[in-house]
Amino acid sequence: MNILQVLPELNVGGVETGTLDLAKYLVKLGHKAVVVSNGGSLVKELEASGAIHYQLPVHKKSFISMFKTVPKLAEVIKKERIDIVHARSRVPAWIAYFAARQAGCLFITTCHGYYKRHLFSYAMGWAKRVICPSNVIARHMIDDFGVPHERIKLVARSVDLEKFKFVSPDKKRSDEFNVGIIGRITPIKGHLHFVKAMAKLARSVPRLKIWIVGDAPASKEAYKEQIQVLVRRLGLWHCTQFLGTQRDIPAIVSHLDLLVMPTTTQEAFGRVIIEAQAAGVPVVATKVGGIIDIIEDGKTGLLVPPADSSAIAEAAMRIFKDKDFAATLAAAAIEKVKDKYKLELMVKNTLDVYQDALSNLNILVIKLSSPGDVILSTAALRAIRRRFAPAQSQTNKNNYKITVLVGNQSKEVLFSCPYIDELLVCDLKNKDRGLAGIWKLGRLLRKKNFDIVVDLQNNRASHLLAFLSLAVNRYGYANKKLSLLINHRIKDEKPAIDPVSHQFRILEMLGIRLDDPALELWPTEQDRRYIDEFLSSQWLSANQKIVGININASQRWLTKSWPLPYMIKLCEELSRRDIRVVLTGTKEDEAKANVLVNSLNNASVINACGKTTINQLACLIKKCNVYISADSAPLHIAVSMKTPFVALFGPTDPRRHLAPAKDYVLIKKELRCSPCYKPKCKDRKCMNLITVAEVLEAIEKLLK
C-alpha cells in the first residue's frame, strides 16, 4: 500500500511521534510511507527511515491558503500513487479531503482530540474510516458529529518498548522524589492545579523535585508566566525546573518517580501515560476522556477528579510513602502496556483499518421513478452484484455493499431482491418534496459514505442526490439535467436502444457488460398462494386458458391506453373460444373495469383490478397463457415472468421502452406523429388504429 499521512508540523508531540512511528513501520513492512507537513525537527529522522516528506502549508487556518494547497496536495497524491490519505488534524483534514476526492483515493482520519463543534472539526468525520484512540472520543464523534458507528474504528496510541527500559519503583528510589508533568503548557493541561498540589506535597516531602516538561505556544505565553509566578509565590522555585520541549522522553521518564497528568478537559488518550508506565513510573491522572481506558484506578495507576489539587497531592503522597504499592502499580501497568499499547499492535490495527477501507466498497444505485422503470433496472442490479460479488472465501476478503434508493411507489419491487443489501425509500412528492427534502436526503446519503453512485434515473433530482452523497465516483448520462454534478458521464447517443441496454451503457464505464438482459421479480410463496386462492374463488377450471388484459396504462398517460370498446369486444371474442379473461389494474381502474364487466353480454371475466400487490400481480400474470398490455409496468412484469405477451404501443417508442423478450407480438402503427410522447391527445389515432382482429390474431399466434 501507498500511504500518505498529513499533519500540521513534524515537531515534538504525541501526534507527531505516532506519525513517525507508523511511517517507519510502514517502510519496514514494504509499504510506501509519505508524509506531508509544514516541516519540523522530526523531518530528518522521518526521511532517514526511508519515508518521503513533502513540505506544504497544511497548518494555516486560512481558507485562501487551504484552497491553494488542495491542488498541490492532489498532485503529490497522484505522483506518489497514493492509495489512502490519512489526515491527523483538522485543517489538514479539510485540505486532504478535497485533494483525495480530486485524486480519486480513499480518505481516513484519526481524531487526536476532543473537538469542539466548530466548522473546522466536521471534516474529521467525513472520512470513510474515522480512527479514535479511545471510547470517549468515539462516542464524541458519534454523538456530536453524527459519524455512523460502523465507520468508527478504535486504535489506541502506542509506545515503542525498545526505547524505554522498565525499572520498578522499589529498585530506583533515591533520597529525592522526582515528580514530573509532560505536555504543552496550556490551560487544559492543568498546570496550575499541578503546581498547587506540589506545594501541598512539598510540606511532607523535603527533597521534592518538580519537572515541568514542555513549552507554551506563542498564544499561551501569558499562561506560562502565570505558572512561573505561582511557582515563586508558593516557594517552589528552588525545586522546580522548567525544562521546555524535550525530544528524549525515555531519558526524562527514566529519572521520574511519579508522573502527574492533571488534564482538566476530555483527553483523547494520553500517550505520555503509557510511556511512563513502560519505564516503570507510577501515574496519577485525572479521571477524564481516554485516560479512563488506560488506567484502572488502584490497579495500574491512580485516578483523581479534575481540577482537584488536594486529590492530586494525596495520591502523590500515597505513592511516595508506599514503595510496595508503587511497585505493584508499575508491574500491573507494564503488563497492560505490553498487551494493549505496544507499537507493533498499533501498526497492525492501523493496517487492518486501511485494508478494511480498501476492501469495502459501498455502492448506491438511484432509481426513483415508477415501478415499471424499477423492474427494468433488475438486470442492471444483477450485473452490478455479479461484478461486485460478496466475499466467497478466506482468500477473497473484499466486501461490497449495494444500496438502492427508490421512490415510495416502487419499494415493493425490490423487497425480496437478492442482489441488494439495503433498500432506501424516499417520497419526493410528499415528505421529501422540494429542495429542503432533497437536502435532507443528501444528508442521509452522506452518512452512508458511498464510494460509487450509479444514477439510473438521470434526472435533476437524482443527479443532485448523487452529488450531495459526496461519493467520489458518480456515474450517469450527460444530459441537460444538472449532469455536470456527475463526474463520470456518457452521452445519450442515437439511435434509440432498449431500456436495459440503455442502462448498461452507464455500467460499461464500470467494466460491466450486458450478458444477460432478463428482467426479474421475486414474489414469495405467500404471494403465489394468494393468487391460487383468488383464481380458485373465480371458478376457474384447471385446464382453462387464461388471457390477461391490463385495462389501463396510466392515469397520467391516457394516450397509451387501448380504447375500452375494443377491450369489451375482445373479451367477448375470447369467451367464444372458451378463453377466460383476467382484468388487471390499480384501484383507480376499478370504475373502468366495472364499466367493462357490465357491458359484456356473454362473457364472464375475472376482475383483479385493485386486488393485487406488484408481486401478487406477477404471480397472476405468470398464470396467464398470454398477457396484453400497453406500455406500462405490467408489460415489464410479463417480461420478467416470461409470460407470452402482446405489446400495444402508440405515443411512445418500443425501441426505447420494450425490454428484450422472446415470446411476444408488438403492435404499433407507423404514423407521422408517432412517437409523440404526449400524455394527452384529441384523437389518439395511434391506439385507435390497433384493431381487435389484430390483437386476436396475435393472441392465437402466441397460444400456438
Q: Could you tell me if 83 and 22 lie in one domain?
A: yes
125-144 per-position pLDDT tens digit: 999 999 999 899 999 999 99
673-696 per-position pLDDT tens digit: 888 888 888 888 889 999 999 999
Q: Could you tell me if 500 and 533 lie in one domain?
A: no
pLDDT, the chain, mean: 91
342: its cell numbers: 505496544
309-354 per-position pLDDT tens digit: 999 999 999 999 998 999 999 999 999 999 999 999 999 999 999 9
492: confidence class by pLDDT, cuts 50, 70, 90: confident
Query: Looking at the domain assignment, is residue 276 inside a domain?
Result: yes
pLDDT at site 398: 66
**Which CATH number covers residue 370?**
3.40.50.2000
Q: Could you tell me if 282 and 417 lie in one domain?
A: no
393: confidence class by pLDDT, cuts 50, 70, 90: very low
Q: Could you tell me if 53 and 145 lie in one domain?
A: yes
pLDDT at site 173: 63
pLDDT at site 31: 95
| pLDDT at 470 > cutoff 50 | yes
391: confidence class by pLDDT, cuts 50, 70, 90: very low
Q: Could you tell me if 410 and 267 lie in one domain?
A: no
19-33 per-position pLDDT tens digit: 999 999 999 999 999
Q: What whole-number distance in Å separates Cα of residue 440 and Cα of residue 433?
A: 10
Query: Looking at the domain assignment, is residue 645 inside a domain?
Result: yes
Q: Could you tell me if 137 and 212 lie in one domain?
A: no
pLDDT at site 397: 58
Q: Could you tell me if 548 and 651 lie in one domain?
A: yes
Q: What whole-number distance in Å separates Cα of residue 626 and Cα of residue 441?
A: 42
* Single residue among 310, 340, 370 that ends a domain in this structure: 340
Query: Looking at the domain assignment, is residue 515 inside a domain?
Result: no
Q: What whole-number distance in Å separates Cα of residue 188 and Cα of residue 439?
A: 38
Q: What whole-number distance in Å separates Cα of residue 533 and Cα of residue 547?
A: 18
Query: Looking at the domain assignment, is residue 349 inside a domain?
Result: no
Query: Looking at the domain assignment, is residue 17 inside a domain?
Result: yes
Number of domains present in the structure of the chain: 4
Q: What percent of the chain has pLDDT over 90?
A: 73
* Residue 205 φ then ψ, to 5°: -120, 95
Query: Looking at the domain assignment, is residue 608 inside a domain?
Result: yes
* Single residue among 466, 481, 510 that ends a domain in this structure: 510
Query: Looking at the domain assignment, is residue 346 inside a domain?
Result: no
Helix axes 614-623, 633-640, angle to 10 degrees: 60
Asked whether the beta carbons of 258 and 322 are under 8 A apart, the reply is: no
Domain with 380, as residue range(s), is 359-510
Q: Could you tell me if 174 and 302 lie in one domain?
A: yes
| pLDDT at 277 > cutoff 50 | yes
* Single residue among 92, 120, 154 that ends a domain in this structure: 154
Query: Looking at the domain assignment, is residue 518 inside a domain?
Result: no
Q: Could you tell me if 189 and 316 lie in one domain?
A: yes
652-681 per-position pLDDT tens digit: 999 999 999 999 999 999 888 888 888 888
CB burial of residue 669 (10 Å; 0-12, 13-18, 19+): middle
Q: Could you tell me if 324 and 463 lie in one domain?
A: no
Q: Could you tell me if 148 and 245 lie in one domain?
A: no
Q: Could you tell me if 600 and 618 lie in one domain?
A: yes
What is the torsional sign of CA 9, 472, 437, 427? negative
pLDDT at site 127: 92
